[in-house]
């Protein structure tokens, strides 16, 4: 952010003042307040002030556009919006197209009136918010986090205080967090992964948070990591792959205090894990797994026990099992759908009772992810259930093919999808983004793949692309690739 330091006492005073403003503005317990705010102290203040008065925070993806914001705001029924002025082009007219009555701008906005307020000019003379009209209960809703909408419109996962506390407690145990730890936050705070593990967890353990407004320029992230003595660093595979390629100054490698690098949101290749641990010998890179519907963390590798390609063991107090289509648990090593049970499981989807009933059964949440469990209880993600390719009656898991391609020299990132042909069977298509300055030869790559993959797994078509479509956290959007192929935007080779 900058070189300002904010104590927990000062933070509490700011939260209390803003909570008082929310009350004076007519926001009541159970009502929704939306947030379209970048990484900042204002994000943290807003989140805690909203929940302090028993209202429900709705942090939104800041990369969305006006129509997407409109849909979510109307779906959740928010009455107030907190927005960064940098997003004003997309948010200023939401007063006219949604139920939003007031917008509080977290930074300089030129048009202030009875509907547009300045966060920085909220009068501290309002008094602080010490007495609660209704103290929220553990099972009351704290946040509504909207899923990325990979299939259809995004749905709001309703998360309670119990959900978030369970993640914080489990995370503090698994990572052995103390008040001496320092977390660096540069991934978007609106994302459930960052929100729970990099904002709420350190607040729970009274650790320090170093806020960086953006991942770009990445040199600044490294600079802040070094200067602020960061010990916990959370990233995504694309970022760790970039770190592997980057020329890191010797003094960073020598003097940095990072003890844990955490990877999530997308699969980390075995090669990347091996190369990263070889380069950063003083720290552990731990891969985990989660989803918004589980607050979000479910599994993580441990400091004292880690397995490549595995997302680790279930967090303390959570249960994970692998089931078949009949919801019967499969044997060790067999592939099935991952189910999760524990205090992390959401209440359900807002306004989608049918989807909730299809997803949560007797307290168990169906994740939609295919995985397997080994004899030690470690979980391995095989693929998304919806990404499974069925060709000539045989199940093909894209991630297995991707892992092989990742090991081929010159490959930066890869996405394997299945697209139905004229016979309604599925063709295997591979999209490959080469490393900068590298030109890959399809024939040579195919010869390599034939040595490492069964014939039925070999991609029918291989495409080399400048850049794969990704979301805010670096996850490849396979849906976009499928849509381009199906619409003819990408022509299939004959």
Do 396 and 456 meet the contact criterion of CB atoms below 8 Å apart?
yes
Do 66 and 94 meet the contact criterion of CB atoms below 8 Å apart?
yes
- pLDDT above 60 for 429: yes
- pTM here is 0.84
* 338 φ/ψ angles, rounded to the nearest 5 degrees: -80, 130
Give the pLDDT mean for 312-323: 97
- pLDDT above 80 for 392: no
Task: Enter the CATH code of domain 8-136.
Answer: 3.40.50.980
pLDDT tens for 352-388 read: 999 999 999 999 999 999 999 999 999 999 888 888 8
Q: How far is the C-alpha of 84 from the C-alpha of 38, rounded, in Å?
A: 7
pLDDT of residue 121: 86
What one-character DSSP code corresponds to residue 135?
A: P
The correct CATH number of 388-486 out of 3.40.50.1820, 3.30.300.30, 3.30.60.50, 3.30.300.90 is 3.30.300.30
pLDDT of residue 383: 83
pLDDT of residue 133: 66
pLDDT of residue 424: 64
Q: How far is the C-alpha of 183 from the C-alpha of 39, rounded, in Å?
A: 14
Q: Which residue has the higher pLDDT, 440 or 492?
A: 440
Q: How far is the C-alpha of 432 from the C-alpha of 428, rounded, in Å?
A: 13
* Phi/psi-derived region of residue 488, left when phi > 0, alpha when psi is between -120 and 50, beta in every other case: left
Environment class of 485 (CB within 10 Å of its CB; exposed 0-12, middle 13-18, buried 19+): buried
- pLDDT above 90 for 276: yes
Give the pLDDT mean for 212-216: 89
User: Between 8-24 and 41-52, two packed helices, what is the crossing angle to 10 degrees?
Assistant: 60
pLDDT of residue 152: 60
Give the pLDDT mean for 172-184: 97
**List of residues 6+ apart from 168 with CB closer than 8 A:** 196, 200, 201, 204, 205
- pLDDT above 80 for 192: yes
Give the pLDDT mean for 22-51: 96
pLDDT of residue 494: 46
pLDDT tens for 40-91 read: 999 999 999 999 999 999 999 998 889 889 999 999 999 999 999 999 999 9
- pLDDT above 50 for 150: no
pLDDT of residue 1: 52
Domain extent listing, the chain: 8-136, 159-384, 388-486
Give the pLDDT mean for 473-483: 84
pLDDT of residue 86: 94
* 446-451 long-range Cβ contacts below 8 angstroms, 24+ apart: 448/408, 449/404, 449/405
Q: What is the residue-averaged pLDDT of the chain?
A: 91
Environment class of 196 (CB within 10 Å of its CB; exposed 0-12, middle 13-18, buried 19+): buried
Distances (CA, A) of 208 to 152, 204, 229: 38, 10, 10
- pLDDT above 80 for 154: yes
Q: pLDDT grade, residue 131 (50/70/90)?
A: low
Residue percentage of the chain with pLDDT more than 90: 73
Give the pLDDT mean for 222-232: 97
- What homologous superfamily does CATH list for 159-384? ANL, N-terminal domain (3.40.50.12780)
In the block, which residue shows the tokens 């320029």?
217
User: Between 237-245 and 270-279, two packed helices, what is the crossing angle to 10 degrees?
Assistant: 50
- pLDDT above 80 for 151: no
- pLDDT above 90 for 475: no
Do domains 159-384 and 388-486 share one topology? The answer is no
Give the pLDDT mean for 221-234: 96
- pLDDT above 90 for 346: yes
What one-character DSSP code corresponds to residue 195?
A: I
pLDDT of residue 282: 93
- pLDDT above 90 for 477: no
- pLDDT above 70 for 132: no
- pLDDT above 80 for 128: no
pLDDT tens for 255-270 read: 999 999 999 877 788 8
Give the pLDDT mean for 462-468: 94
Buried b (16+ CB within 10 A) or exposed e, 313-331: bbbeebebbbeeeeeeeee
Q: How far is the C-alpha of 465 from the C-alpha of 231, rounded, in Å?
A: 36
pLDDT of residue 264: 84
Q: pLDDT grade, residue 129 (50/70/90)?
A: low
Q: How far is the C-alpha of 472 from the C-alpha of 193, rounded, in Å?
A: 12
């Amino acid at each position: 952010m900058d070189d300002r330091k904010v104590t927990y006492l000062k933070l509490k005073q700011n939260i209390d003042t803003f909570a008082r403003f929310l009350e004076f503005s007519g926001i009541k317990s159970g009502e929704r307040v939306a947030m379209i705010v970048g990484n900042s102290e204002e994000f943290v203040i807003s989140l805690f002030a909203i929940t302090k008065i028993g209202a429900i925070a709705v942090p939104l993806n800041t990369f969305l556009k006006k129509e997407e914001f409109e849909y979510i705001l109307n779906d959740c029924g928010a009455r107030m919006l907190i927005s960064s002025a940098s997003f004003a082009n997309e948010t200023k007219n939401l007063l006219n197209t949604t139920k939003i009555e007031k917008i509080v701008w977290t930074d300089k906005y030129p048009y202030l009136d009875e509907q547009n307020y300045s966060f920085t000019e909220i009068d501290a003379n309002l008094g602080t918010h010490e007495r609660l009209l209704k103290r929220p209960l553990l099972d009351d809703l704290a946040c509504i986090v909207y899923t990325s909408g990979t299939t259809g419109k995004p749905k709001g996962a309703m998360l309670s205080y119990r959900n978030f506390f369970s993640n914080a407690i489990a995370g503090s145990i698994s990572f052995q967090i103390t008040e001496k730890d320092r977390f660096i936050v540069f991934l978007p705070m609106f994302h459930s992964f960052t929100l729970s593990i990099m904002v709420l967890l350190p607040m729970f353990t009274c650790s320090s948070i170093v806020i960086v407004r953006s991942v770009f320029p990445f040199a600044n992230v490294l600079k802040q990591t070094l200067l602020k003595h960061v010990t916990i660093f959370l990233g995504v595979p694309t970022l760790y792959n970039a770190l592997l390629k980057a020329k890191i100054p010797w003094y960073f490698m020598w003097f940095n205090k990072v003890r844990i690098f955490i990877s999530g949101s997308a699969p980390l290749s075995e090669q990347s894990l091996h190369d990263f641990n070889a380069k950063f010998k003083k720290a552990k890179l731990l891969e985990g797994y989660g989803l918004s519907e589980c607050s979000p963390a479910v599994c993580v590798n441990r400091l004292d026990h880690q397995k490549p390609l595995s997302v680790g063991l279930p967090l303390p107090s959570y249960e994970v099992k692998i089931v078949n289509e009949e919801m019967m648990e499969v044997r060790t090593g067999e592939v099935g759908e991952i189910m999760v049970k524990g205090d992390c499981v959401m209440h359900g989807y807002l306004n989608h009772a049918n989807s909730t009933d299809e997803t949560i059964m007797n307290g168990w949440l169906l994740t939609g992810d295919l995985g397997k469990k080994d004899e030690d209880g470690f979980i391995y993600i095989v693929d998304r259930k919806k990404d499974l390719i069925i060709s000539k009656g045989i199940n093909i898991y894209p991630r297995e093919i991707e892992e092989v391609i990742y090991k081929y020299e010159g490959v930066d990132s890869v996405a394997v999808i299945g697209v139905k042909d004229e016979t309604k069977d599925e063709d295997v298509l591979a999209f490959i983004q080469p490393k900068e300055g590298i030109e890959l030869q399809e024939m040579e790559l195919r010869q390599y793949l034939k040595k490492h993959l069964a014939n039925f797994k070999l991609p029918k078509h291989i495409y080399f692309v400048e850049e794969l479509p990704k979301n805010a956290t670096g996850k490849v959007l396979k849906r976009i690739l499928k849509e381009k192929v199906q619409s003819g935007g990408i022509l299939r080779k004959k």
